[in-house]
Structure 1
Amino acid sequence: MTPRPRAARRAAAALALLLGSLALQPGAEAATPAPAAQPPAADRDLGREVLAADDGWAAEGTGTTGGSAADDAHVFTVRTRAQLVAALDGGSSVPKIIRVAGTIDANTDDRGRRLDCDDYATDGYALDAYLAAYDPRTWGGAKPAGPQEDARKASAARQAERVELLVGSHTTLVGVGRNGVLKGASLQVKDADNVIVRNLELRDAYDCFPAWQPNTGGLGDWKTAYDTLWLRGATHVWVDHVTASDKGHPDDREPTYFGRNFLRHDGLLDITNGADLVTVSWSRFADHDKAMLIGNGDGVTTDRGKLRVTLHHNEFHSVVQRAPRVRFGQVHLYNNRYVIPGEGDYRYSLGVSTESRIVAENNSFESPGHVEVADLLKSWNGSALTQRGTVFNGFPVDLVSIYNAYNSGSETDLATDTGWTPTLHGPVDSAERAAADVARGAGAGRAG
């Protein structure tokens, strides 16, 4: 098919937008507005609370109770990295409640002394030497190898020993009050079951030693190591009232090397390696490039039937992409608020990739003038997206029809039926009502 001129595509998209504004999407009026959240009782114990019986995919089967059954000997209040590491117990499956009080910096030694990148560097690693060794103009397009790459790997391993923290089964990790902060850490829920992470600010999982990865046919890119929160092969996980960001070291302030931004952060929340039965609620993902990846790669067919995730009442604020990007997953995305960055780069919000089955209901997008409705969605080998009740700058729109109209002739059209209907969820509010509630209530320090 011959691609239509851009002006024609814009006209088709504008017509679809106009039609969407004349009538609400199917099902929009059927949702019953949820009552406004009531202030929690003063004596509420977040550490003992469990996921409600119908609250998303993490409620499936045995549900998600975290460490709520922990005995008194396994309830900890931690204020330092050393205390946190001891409480996590190497990712043990003993039921435990860990309360984070104040700010804990993962980049500290066992005595609490702050560590910086120079403290981790070993075997002669130096950024200037690394850049000189692997400059594509002299090194070419081969993968870096040799003394500086070996030194980078050794230095990175030293930092990983400090910042990668394993969370085991039957664990609740919860911030105390409004000030529970975990800085510089990569929390990893690996092959664990029944985990709750709540009321925590997760900040600045900063990689001191990014790796240069040449890309055949392109410039290449910088690869970073640490997701702020990584659910890897994990099941029955509830993430609630979490704030995740690059606060302290935003990537857009990093320099450019080899023509590419010197990224220091990976994902804010990645759900991969067959992770399953996850609910992410009332959380805030902010000021970041790649926010959330669900699924590893197009060829990881073992993810089929897994990666069942519910995302509701979350805010994605000034996120460049992956909010989320989904491969294989069966994802229910409802009542979320998107605030598109007004300056700098923006690529897309919803990524529809191989065999993904996303049902997106009553989500709100607030966008600057240069971002169009069709820009919110991007497809890589995706085939369908079920959506209804979407609101863009106050107007109801049909994401799929506008995306198809705008991209007709250059990309395969998306179908509108992913073949399933979510049943595990609370009331689905209108997009406008949910956006207001999320603006007031999402993020750390707002759970109790």
Structure 2
Amino acid sequence: MKKLLFTSAAFFASAFLFAAPAQLTVKSGEKPVTAGWADMGSLSYASKNVIVIDDSTYSSPEAKRKAFTNAIASGSVSSSSINDKAALILVYGTVDLSDGKVSDKDHSYFDEFDSATHKRKHGDFMYDIGSNKTIIGARAAKVAYGGLRIKARDGVLKNVIIQNISFWDAHGSTEYDTKVPEYSSKKASADQLVIEGTEDKSTKARYIHIPENIWIDHCSFSDGVCVDLDRNFNHDGALDIKCGKNVTVSFCEFTNHDKVTLSGSSDKFITPDEREVTFHDNYYHGCVQRMPRTRGGYFHLYNNVFDEIGTKNNSGASLGPGVGAQFIVENNYFGKHAGYILRASDNSKPGTPSFYKIYVSGNKPELNGNNAENFLSHKVNEKPWKIPYNYVLKSADEAKASVVSEAGSGAKVILDGKEL
């Protein structure tokens, strides 16, 4: 069990899981089993078009970044166009998305504002992933100082697998200079990884293009050496899922972050089948809130571990179901929380279709009226939707024992019988 020291930035850098005792067996071209929603789609590993991103091939950080961001978009290191070309992208070591403009010691790039308008001078470092891309990390693979985006723009964006990557400090600038009193509450919009679609402009309450068949597995998410959990100005989501069908998030570690996962960007988005997400065997510690915070969707959470959640000045909560959400919460371990385990936000009236529902079973401790805000009126005795995939439950205590050591990046990867 790792010890948490909330006041030490060094802790978050050193205790971040770069050497989880896990092994990933990958067979190119085959359909993986994710034990979640992603099993209901046509998800498969890419094959044939293998692209290696490493320091020996790309001698400068900028060349390595360009090759990586081109490859995840187009399936080729020579084009940045987003397309559906399948590619198996192997990542070794660090990819600096800022091209050297940001480092652990120097974030001043994002402290520059226009003197007249007080608007930020620099945007976030965000790069897109195209359909049919498999991204697998090895040898301390890290994506640093920026974020990646899986966005359906024109039609369906589908079949994306990301495994064994450390997402590190997606630092960004606040929209306006927070030193100016009228902008003191502004924040950054930088996400480490975001899954999103294209809104229907006519209704402004649905999506016309939605990503499908996505698996995020054995990845780590952290703000790096930055510790600003009381009021997070320079980071937004760790893994936001604004919409997505057949999405599984498994064996990931989330630490040193405030707002972890937002699913459904506003109370307008209450249609459940636009968000079909499973979270299992993930380790959340040293975080504050949104694990996840949701609107309408079919959400299944099982065998996750939540511990050391919230701070004295920002109590937060692990779970945040909202309007239209349909939660199934099974056999999770809830450790130390500064406040509630669950804090809800739902203005719907009881009995209406958008009034969120939550089914709980086998959790430790079980959610109740004392540790979960406004819980009893939303609790249901039967699962609010039928789980269509196969999965195996561990007890909450078994999850605590296994997930803490197995979750996160740094696993040994066996690709087609050979260790990477």
**Shorter-normalised TM range:** 0.7 to 0.9
Once the two structures are superposed, the pairs formed by residues 48-447 of structure 1 within 5 Å of their partners are 48=28, 52-53=32-33, 55-62=35-42, 64-66=43-45, 68-71=46-49, 74-79=50-55, 80-88=64-72, 89=74, 90=80, 91-108=82-99, 125=113, 129=115, 147-149=116-118, 151-152=119-120, 155-157=121-123, 160=124, 163-177=125-139, 179-191=140-152, 192-211=157-176, 221-233=185-197, 234-252=211-229, 261=231, 263-272=233-242, 274-301=243-270, 303-341=271-309, 343-344=311-312, 345-367=314-336, 371=339, 375-381=340-346, 382-392=355-365, 397=366, 399-402=367-370, 407=374, 413-416=377-380, 417=382, 419-446=384-411
C-alpha distance in 2, partners of 1:225/1:384?
A: 30
Q: Which amino acid aligns with 1:306?
A: E
Which residue of 2 is the match for residue 31 of structure 1?
A: none
Contact 1:349–1:377 at 8 Å: present in 2 too?
A: yes
Contact 2:269–2:295 at 8 Å: present in 1 too?
A: no
Call closer, same or farther: CA 1:219–1:121 in 2, change over 3 Å: closer
Call closer, same or farther: CA 1:251–1:121 in 2, change over 3 Å: closer
C-alpha distance in 2, partners of 1:312/1:427?
A: 10
C-alpha distance in 2, partners of 1:305/1:421?
A: 13
Call closer, same or farther: CA 1:342–1:379 in 2, change over 3 Å: closer
Call closer, same or farther: CA 1:114–1:223 in 2, change over 3 Å: closer
Q: Which amino acid aligns with 2:138?
A: V
Call closer, same or farther: CA 1:114–1:357 in 2, change over 3 Å: closer
C-alpha distance in 2, partners of 1:117/1:340?
A: 27
C-alpha distance in 1, partners of 2:194/2:361?
A: 30
Contact 1:54–1:424 at 8 Å: present in 2 too?
A: no
- Structure having the higher helix fraction is 1
Q: Deviations over 1:178-229 (max 9, x none)?
A: x00110121101112100010000010001344379xxxx997222121100
C-alpha distance in 1, partners of 2:142/2:221?
A: 10
Q: Which amino acid aligns with 1:156?
A: H
Call closer, same or farther: CA 1:241–1:290 in 2, change over 3 Å: same
Give secondary structure in 1 for the equivalent of 2:390.
Answer: coil
- By how many angstroms is 1:120 displaced? 7.0
Question: Which segment drifts farther, 168-177 or 204-213?
Answer: 204-213
Q: Which amino acid aligns with 1:222?
A: K
C-alpha distance in 1, partners of 2:370/2:132?
A: 44
Call closer, same or farther: CA 1:413–1:285 in 2, change over 3 Å: same
Give secondary structure in 1 for the equivalent of 2:254.
Answer: strand
State the Cα RMSD in Å.
Answer: 2.9
Gaps of 5+ in 2: 1-19, 56-63, 75-79, 198-210, 347-354, 414-420
Contact 2:22–2:406 at 8 Å: present in 1 too?
A: no
Contact 1:51–1:238 at 8 Å: present in 2 too?
A: no
C-alpha distance in 2, partners of 1:207/1:61?
A: 34
State how many pairs are aligned: 347
- By how many angstroms is 1:446 displaced? 2.4
- Percent of aligned pairs with the same amino acid: 27
Call closer, same or farther: CA 1:332–1:119 in 2, change over 3 Å: closer
Give secondary structure in 2 for the equivalent of 1:378.
Answer: coil
Call closer, same or farther: CA 1:363–1:87 in 2, change over 3 Å: same
C-alpha distance in 2, partners of 1:342/1:292?
A: 15
Contact 2:357–2:384 at 8 Å: present in 1 too?
A: no
Contact 1:222–1:262 at 8 Å: present in 2 too?
A: no
- By how many angstroms is 1:379 displaced? 1.5
Give secondary structure in 1 for the equivalent of 2:190.
Answer: coil
Q: Which amino acid aligns with 1:190?
A: K
Whichever of the two has the greater Rg, that structure is: 1
C-alpha distance in 1, partners of 2:128/2:27?
A: 19
Q: TM-score, normalised by structure 2?
A: 0.75
Contact 1:293–1:325 at 8 Å: present in 2 too?
A: yes
